[in-house]
Amino acid sequence: MATNLLQGTLDLLILKTLALQELHGLGISHRIAQITQGTFQVKPGSLFPALHRMEESGWLESYWGESENNRRAKYYRLTVPGRAQLATETDEWQRISIAMASALEST
Amino acid sequence: MPLLPRLSSLRRNLFDKPRVEQDLDEELRAYLEQLTDEKVRSGESYAAARRAALLELGGVEQVKEEVREIRIGNMLESILHDLRYGFRSLAKNIGFTGVVILALALGIGANTTMFSVAYGILMRPLPYPDAGRVALVYMHFSPQNFDRGTMCIADYLDWKAQNHAFEEPSIFSSRRMDLVGTGEPEQVQGALVTAGFFSTMRVPPLLGRVFLPGEDRPGAPSTAVLSEALWRRRFSASPAVIGQSIAINGASATIIGVMPDAFRFPRATTELWTNLPLVPPTRRGPFIARGVARLKHGVTIEQAQLETNTIGQRIMRENPYYRNLTLPVERLRDAIVGDVRTPLLVLIGAVGLVLLIAVVNVANLMLARATTREGEMALRLSLGAGRMRLVRQLLTESLLLSIAGGVAGLLVSYGGIQLLRSWNPGNLPLIEYVELDGRALGFMLLTAVVTGLLFGLAPAVQGMRANLNSTLKEGGRGARAGTSTARRIRTALVVSEIALSLMLMAGAGLLIRSLEHLERVTGGFAAPPRDILTIAVSPSDRKYNDAQAFRNLYEDMLERARQVPGVEAVALSDTLPPDRQEDADTFTIQGQVLVSGEQNPAVSDAIISGDYFRAMRIPLLKGRFFTPQDKQESAPVVIISDSLARHFFPGQEPLGRRIKQSGPDNQAPFMEVVGVVGDVKYTGLQKDTDAAYYMPYGQNFGRRMYVVVRTSLGAALAPALRRAVQAADPGVTLNQVETMQETLSRAVALPRFDTVLLAAFALVALLLAAVGIYGIIAYSVAQRTHEIGVRMALGAGQGSVLGMVIRQGASLALIGILLGLSGAFALTRLLSNLLFGVSSTDPLTFAAVALGLLAVALLASFIPARRATRISPVTALRYE
């Protein structure tokens, strides 16, 4: 998949994942793999820069918490602007996917 | 996008960095542990799980680096980091940094200065509206033969009557004017001008008015326009000055206006303009004026020249007195700039070479540094530095260097311009308009930055091409085949530096030799120039109305001057070397057969008192000097110069022959040649026109004379002498009280200006070239440490090592010198107009310059060569 497309997609997937549940890094990457049926294997090298970038943009906030097996882990949750962003990006994505689908079918 | 969280992130990233970093570190460690836990749970051993987790993470540092790069303020932070690193790395190499900054500062500074000066003089708009349409019109004719000669009023009236090309033609006549009354008698530079003069220049007066049409008709009342400077100095800038009357040359004139300071025409020093009454001429002459006029719209200067050529032909047809008459037209700018255009262009060319050498030097140093840093670059790449990040780092360093060089260059040029302005060699026109030119500075800075960037990037380019493995394996020793291109480029750069410096040095050498010759020209008198004091006397008062009154005044002055203690000899002359010729006139030899209308050329004629030759120590070659018996009543006598004797009495005895002033039609009596004296330069040190004839002031008279005094006290006697001479009549204007030394040094001021500047440029070039050679040899020695160690271990003596290294430097220098010599042969021809007494391909100069450069090159390679001989084989071999 093209990288720039990937970045937008990754943002959207992270927002979507966190909309359901507050998660730590590993949890997010597992969750994404799960909901995309393994299509997206998010590597830490992409995941962490994306998380930090979105946090700096004010869409996410982070806090230290306990993981399932009692380890300290950093959790991320959606902020109010983050929810708004999710809505915007979802709409955008749907518009694009419809447009792309019809474009590809039209031949 | 919300701004607030971004700002708070920026604050945290910049000011709370350790916490942010620690947080990231912990987050990643936690992630790694979670991942390991998962893998252990799925049945792997802890060690295996840990390794798999690390692999999956893909390197903790790399992930951290990627997170850091997206952080807000990352750009700013990394720039700061680059700057810090750049400063450190430049400071660590203080020698390299210093030389680069110095090279840039000299190159940029010298160029900005020269370009600012040249722009101010050659190109900056003149302070006269639409000055491109203003032209000067001269008259050239035989026997006068001056390129920018003067016309008489009759010629002007003819030109004006037949003119179509110009709007209202005007004429002006520059002369010294005596101001008496309202304070000390003072002589100022003035100009007689016709009514249209100021409207041609289109500059409104600061105060009052300028001449009205008709104010140049005969019988019009005398009026005067002051310069702003004169108005402030003598009339304390009072507006009430308009309508006042002042005494100019003993006659009264009404002040009608004041011109602003920017108006400096016809001379930069002109301070007073009076109306020139066009008295209907009865004959051709005196030739006193040059024309100035504004081209009509749509008329080119070439068309105007064609028209004045035709007018000149017509004037010549009607006046058989003239031969080869033309009316040359010259643009105002060219007329003002005059003789300095060529020297300025030569200096611009020279300074351009300096810039080229400086840039080449910087390039060379940058490349040398790049090679030594290949190891560092490879190491940083392999440790995970991004290539773009490295490029940015190198760019930062180069920019730092360029900016430092630029700032230093700005200081150099600022100081340089101040220096040139205050040192103004007197005859550099328009120097008062010269200021630091922003565009020149900008261009030079750009050159510096581009050079810095271009060659500063070399290590990055090399680093990207280089095979990391092999570079690292070399252990940073850097003796690789991969650098041979860089080495070849650097060798070529050094060779071209040497060649360019040789060209500059050859030019400077020629100018120095020429100046030497010029300064050796004494003007033709044997008295030491510092022992000769001269005073210009200008008795303007009406009470001196005949020759006898003048003679009484001058006798009185001579007598009073003679009484001053320390005075050894006193004399009068109306003409002095090196270039104060009051008059030039043709002459007629009794019995000479001339074709009708033909005349002898104009030569200097001087009116002197009997002691003039003795005071100046001008040798008597034949016959006798004038004596007090050569009076009005006795037979007219004349003394001629050696050169006149040789040209006009070749192989004959001139003594006893008779000549008279002016052409055959002149009514003056024939004078008997009683003596022949040595040649004296009256029309300039560089001129060959030494022919002159002298007449005793007992039989002729000049209103304005110089009192010439010989005294071993020199300039120290000036105040006493001035007082003594002034005592003869407090109303007489005294001027230019100075020693012949001062006069002579002023005469060579402009050549000295060119020479000093060109020599300074050549010196800078030589220094830069020496640094270049030193750099490449020192570098090569460092590279060959191992090889030299092996040689010495195998028995090579210090001498042979020394010889080997120096030979390398010498061969570079020789190639450069040969190239430079051929370039110099081609280029110094451009100098030929500036040279005096030396050919533009003077073999002595060329040889001296080449040897000098070779010596410097050898010295520059000797220092690293000696270092090479000190290499201990043991240390060198351990360097493996």
| Overall average pLDDT of the B573-577 stretch | 87
| pLDDT for residue B463 | 58
Q: Domain for residue B535, yes or no?
A: no
The H-or-E segment that residue B695 falls in is strand B692-696
What residue spans define the domains of chain A? Answer: 3-105
Q: Domain for residue B332, yes or no?
A: no
| pLDDT for residue B711 | 92
- B793 and B653 belong to one structural domain: no
Under a CB-based contact definition with an 8 Å cutoff, are residues B552 and B573 in contact? no
**Min distance B49 CA to chain A CA atoms (Å):** 15
| Contact check, Cβ <8 Å, B37/A71 | yes
Total residues belonging to chain A: 107
| Contact check, Cβ <8 Å, A73/B28 | no
Q: At what angle do helices B46-57 and B17-41 cross, to 10 degrees?
A: 130
- B709 and B748 belong to one structural domain: no
Q: Which CATH number fits domain A3-105: 3.40.250.10, 1.10.10.10, 1.10.8.420, 1.25.40.10?
A: 1.10.10.10
Interface predicted TM-score (ipTM): 0.87
| Overall average pLDDT of the B574-584 stretch | 75
| Overall average pLDDT of the B401-421 stretch | 88
Which of A27-36, B88-97, B309-318, B604-613 has the weakest average pLDDT? B88-97
Which residues of chain A neighbour B58 with C-beta distances below 8 Å? 43-45
Last residue within a domain, chosen from B669, B698, B731:
B731
Residue B662 amino acid letter: S
Residue B644 has pLDDT above 70, yes or no: yes
CB under 8 Å to B560, separation ≥6 — which residues? B724, B725, B727, B728
| Contact check, Cβ <8 Å, B37/A25 | no
Residue B879 has pLDDT above 70, yes or no: no
Number of domain units in chain B: 5
User: Which residue of A lies nearest to B67 if distances are taken between CA atoms?
Assistant: A49
Last residue within a domain, chosen from B268, B292, B327:
B327
pLDDT tens-place string over residues A47-92: 898 899 888 888 999 999 888 778 888 999 999 999 999 999 899 8
Last residue within a domain, chosen from B25, B56, B72:
B72
| Contact check, Cβ <8 Å, B67/A56 | no
- B674 and B708 belong to one structural domain: yes
| pLDDT for residue B223 | 94
- B60 and B91 belong to one structural domain: no
- B208 and B165 belong to one structural domain: yes
Q: Does A63 touch chain B (CB under 8 A)?
A: no
| pLDDT for residue B596 | 61
Q: For residues B388 and B705, give the distance between their C-alpha atoms in angstroms, rounded to a whole number.
A: 80
Under a CB-based contact definition with an 8 Å cutoff, are residues B293 and B157 in contact? no
> What is the domain extent for residue B113?
74-128+339-478
Neighbouring C-alpha atoms within 13 Å toward the C-beta of B527: 26
Residue B26 has pLDDT above 50, yes or no: yes
| Contact check, Cβ <8 Å, B27/A56 | no
| Contact check, Cβ <8 Å, B67/A49 | yes
Q: For residues B604 and B533, give the distance between their C-alpha atoms in angstroms, rounded to a whole number.
A: 22
- B58 and B100 belong to one structural domain: no
Residue B636 has pLDDT above 90, yes or no: yes
Q: For residues B97 and B857, give the distance between their C-alpha atoms in angstroms, rounded to a whole number.
A: 22
pLDDT tens-place string over residues B510-536: 999 988 888 777 778 888 888 999 998
- B789 and B880 belong to one structural domain: yes
- B240 and B274 belong to one structural domain: yes
User: Which residue of A lies nearest to B32 if distances are taken between CA atoms?
Assistant: A26
**Min distance B29 CA to chain A CA atoms (Å):** 9
At residue B303 the predicted structure's pLDDT band, cuts being 50, 70 and 90, is very high
| Overall average pLDDT of the B52-73 stretch | 81
- B78 and B156 belong to one structural domain: no
| pLDDT for residue B481 | 41
Which of A32-36, B16-20, B231-235 has the weakest average pLDDT? B16-20
Average pLDDT, chain B: 84
| pLDDT for residue B476 | 46
- B756 and B848 belong to one structural domain: yes
Task: Please choose, from the candidates B535, B708, B554, B693, the residue with its C-alpha nearest in 3D space to the C-alpha of residue B616.
Answer: B708
**Min distance B30 CA to chain A CA atoms (Å):** 6
- B116 and B144 belong to one structural domain: no
Average pLDDT, chain A: 85
Under a CB-based contact definition with an 8 Å cutoff, are residues B122 and B336 in contact? no
- B796 and B710 belong to one structural domain: no
User: Which residue of A lies nearest to B73 if distances are taken between CA atoms?
Assistant: A56
Question: Which class for B737: exposed (0-12), middle (13-18), buried (19 or more C-beta within 10 A)?
Answer: middle
Residue of B581 and B706 predicted with greater confidence: B706
| Contact check, Cβ <8 Å, A73/B30 | yes
